């Protein structure tokens, strides 16, 4: 409990996390609002719950940057050493950071998701935006969980790389290039795609939706259903975080 307080003070006593959270929410909700306001009258019937979440990857990336920085700035400014002096076993402090930062990212995810959906509903009251099926609930409320796990992933990379620019570049290259290009490999590409963590994470949100052109694509033939996909994504993110913690404990600080 005390370590959670420590990490909360650390995270919220500098300004950049606040900016990241504001930016994350504003980007995602703002884009959805513009989208909702510009939907053509003839398309209103297709403007469903899933579509209101099309922009969630924008906020997600910003939250990943915040999560990475929460780790790497500690290395940059040496405060990780002060942390390890206070908690020489190291792991509890890192886990506390994981909980606080990922929890906050999850919260921001929920806010952006609910905000996006709620404002869309206000702007387009005639669109089919009421929540009734499990799919629709997952479309909205599931977004926070993906934010939370992506934040764990980002912190893990931060712990492994220990350097802001390097960690963020790795994450962005992975997220926007590798996960999109690997499936283009002939024959095996499709199989690889089914096991890419972020694609699987997206599948948790978009599974069982009709194919659409907005937001993360719906991919057929995924090995897991929505909750299985989430578990797989969680296993990858938490697994990496464990590797990060083991390295942090073993290495000289």
Partner 1 sequence: MIEAQGLTKRYGRTVAVNDLSFTVQPGRVTGFLGPNGAGKSTTMRMILGLDNPSAGTVRINGKRYSELDRPLLQVGALLDAKWVHPNRSARSHLRWIAASNRIPVKRVDEVLEAVGLTSVAGKRAGGFSLGMSQRLGIATALLGDPGVLLFDEPVNGLDPEGILWIRQFMHRLADEGRTVFVSSHLLSEMALTAQDLIVIGRGRLIAQTSTREFIDTASESVVRVRGPEMERLHGVLTSQGLTVRDAPEGDDGPAALVVPNASTEQIGELVGKVGLVLHELATKRGSLEQAFIQLTGQDVEYQAGVPGVPGGGPVAPPQATGGIFTPPANATAPGGDGR
Name which of 27, 53, 24, 33 is nearest 138 in CA terms: 53
C-alpha to C-alpha distances, 163 to 61, 73, 171, 234, 242, nearest whole angstrom: 17, 8, 12, 24, 18
Question: Least distance from C-beta 230 to partner 1, angstroms?
Answer: 33
| Among 107, 238, 247, 253, interactor with partner 1 by CB under 8 A | 253
Asked if residues 22 and 183 have their Cβ atoms less than 8 Å apart, the reply is no
* Choice between 77 and 227, CB closer to partner 1: 77
Is residue 133 close enough to count as binding partner 1 by CB under 8 A? no
Asked if residues 44 and 127 have their Cβ atoms less than 8 Å apart, the reply is yes
Question: Least distance from C-beta 138 to partner 1, angstroms?
Answer: 37
Per DSSP, the residues of 20-35 read HHHHHHHHHHHHHHHH
Q: How far apart are CA 140 and CA 102, in angstroms?
A: 18
Question: Least distance from C-beta 129 to partner 1, angstroms?
Answer: 41
* Choice between 76 and 191, CB closer to partner 1: 76
* Choice between 2 and 132, CB closer to partner 1: 2
Asked if residues 56 and 17 have their Cβ atoms less than 8 Å apart, the reply is no
* Choice between 81 and 191, CB closer to partner 1: 81
* Choice between 83 and 200, CB closer to partner 1: 83
Question: Least distance from C-beta 111 to partner 1, angstroms?
Answer: 24
Question: Least distance from C-beta 13 to partner 1, angstroms?
Answer: 4
Enumerate residues 57-116 that contact partner 1 by CB under 8 A: 73, 77-79, 81-89, 93
Enumerate residues 155-194 that contact partner 1 by CB under 8 A: none
Enumerate residues 2-31 that contact partner 1 by CB under 8 A: 2-3, 5-6, 9-10, 13-16
Q: How far apart are CA 137 and CA 139, in angstroms?
A: 5
* Choice between 192 and 253, CB closer to partner 1: 253
| Among 41, 132, 220, 252, interactor with partner 1 by CB under 8 A | 252
Per DSSP, the residues of 90-155 read -HHHHHHHHHHHHHHHHHHHHHHHHHHHHHHHHH-TTSS----SHHHHHHHHTHHHHHHHHHHHHH
Which residues here bind partner 1, judged by CB under 8 A?
2-3, 5-6, 9-10, 13-16, 73, 77-79, 81-89, 93, 250, 252-253
């Amino acid at each position: 409990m005390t370590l959670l307080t420590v990490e909360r003070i650390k995270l919220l006593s500098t300004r950049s996390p606040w900016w990241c959270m504001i930016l994350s929410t504003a980007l995602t909700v703002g884009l959805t609002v513009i989208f909702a306001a510009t939907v053509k009258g003839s398309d209103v019937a297709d403007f469903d719950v899933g579509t209101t979440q099309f922009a969630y990857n924008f906020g997600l990336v910003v939250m990943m940057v915040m999560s990475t920085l929460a780790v790497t700035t500690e290395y940059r400014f040496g405060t990780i050493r002060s942390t390890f002096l206070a908690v020489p076993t190291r792991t509890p402090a890192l886990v506390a950071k994981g909980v606080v930062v990922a929890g906050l990212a999850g919260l921001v995810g929920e806010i952006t998701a609910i905000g996006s959906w709620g404002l869309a509903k206000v702007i387009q009251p005639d669109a089919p935006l009421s929540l009734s099926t499990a799919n629709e609930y997952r479309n909205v409320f599931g977004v926070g969980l993906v934010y939370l796990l992506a934040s764990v992933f980002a912190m893990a990379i931060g712990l492994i790389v220990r350097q802001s620019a390097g960690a963020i570049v790795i994450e962005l290259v992975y997220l926007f290039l590798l996960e999109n290009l690997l499936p283009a490999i002939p024959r095996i590409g499709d199989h690889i795609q089914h096991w890419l963590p972020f694609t699987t994470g997206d599948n948790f949100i978009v599974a069982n939706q009709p194919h659409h052109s907005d937001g993360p694509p719906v991919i057929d033939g995924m090995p897991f259903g929505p909750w299985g996909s989430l578990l797989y994504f969680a296993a990858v993110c938490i697994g990496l975080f464990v590797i990060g913690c083991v390295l942090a404990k073993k290495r000289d600080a």
